[in-house]
Structure 1
């Protein structure tokens, strides 16, 4: 199965579906510039994020977490989330669509 197309989601931010199944989706998010962001939003499903490269400040509800290469976090369902890129790179999200 081939990867999905690279799609812009915000200024200097792209996403690419790496794997998709009705019960699981794996997506790479690439941030090209410091200060690029993934605006605050929420989803009805749990999410797991793994930082492949770069540095990010994630907001989960009222908490902030700074993550770099090899770091990971789990986001509970319905939690408001977003992130700001501190150093360009890529993180991988896994979730049930």
Structure 2
């Protein structure tokens, strides 16, 4: 098995992104947020699972808003509009299926 190391890139103001692992069927990505940084509302055709490694976040999924912290996880369906606000600096581990080729 061949492994690759991906660079950490600025995804938005106060947010960095690093691909941790990928295959055509699945991708794991770490997002690191400064307090107050936002993940802009968006949607994509991928199913996304989010795990909160550290920090506190307010997520928006459609019309719903909910707060999550370390150890929490949830799934965002394909095509659902979502975004977040970082309430306490932290890191999210997102898994996408299929792979987000736009992150490569």
TM over 0.5: yes
Unmatched runs of 5 consecutive residues or more in structure 2: 100-104
Contact 1:3–1:16 (8 Å) recurs in 2: no
Structure 1: state its 5+ residue gaps. Answer: none
- RMSD over aligned CA atoms reads 0.8
Deviation at 1:2, TM superposition (A): 3.3
Secondary structure in 2 matching 1:52: strand
- Cα distance in structure 2, aligned partners of 1:3 and 1:84: 28
Q: Aligned to 2:54, what secondary structure does the other structure show?
A: coil
Cα distance in 2 between the residues matched to 1:51 and 1:65: 13
Q: Deviations over 1:32-88 (max 9, x none)?
A: 2x2100100001121100000000001000001100000011001100000000000
- 2: CA distance between counterparts of 1:82 and 1:41? 6
CA distance in 2, matches of 1:81, 1:75: 8
Runs of 4+ in 1 over 2 A off after TM superposition: none
* Paired residues of 1:43 and 1:78 also in contact (CA < 8 A): yes
1:29 aligns with 2:35: no
Q: How many aligned positions are there?
A: 96
Equivalent residue, structure 2, for 1:17: 19
Paired position in structure 1 for 2:50: 49
| Residue of structure 1 equivalent to 2:84 | 83
User: Aligned partners of 1:45 and 1:24: how far apart in 2?
Assistant: 10
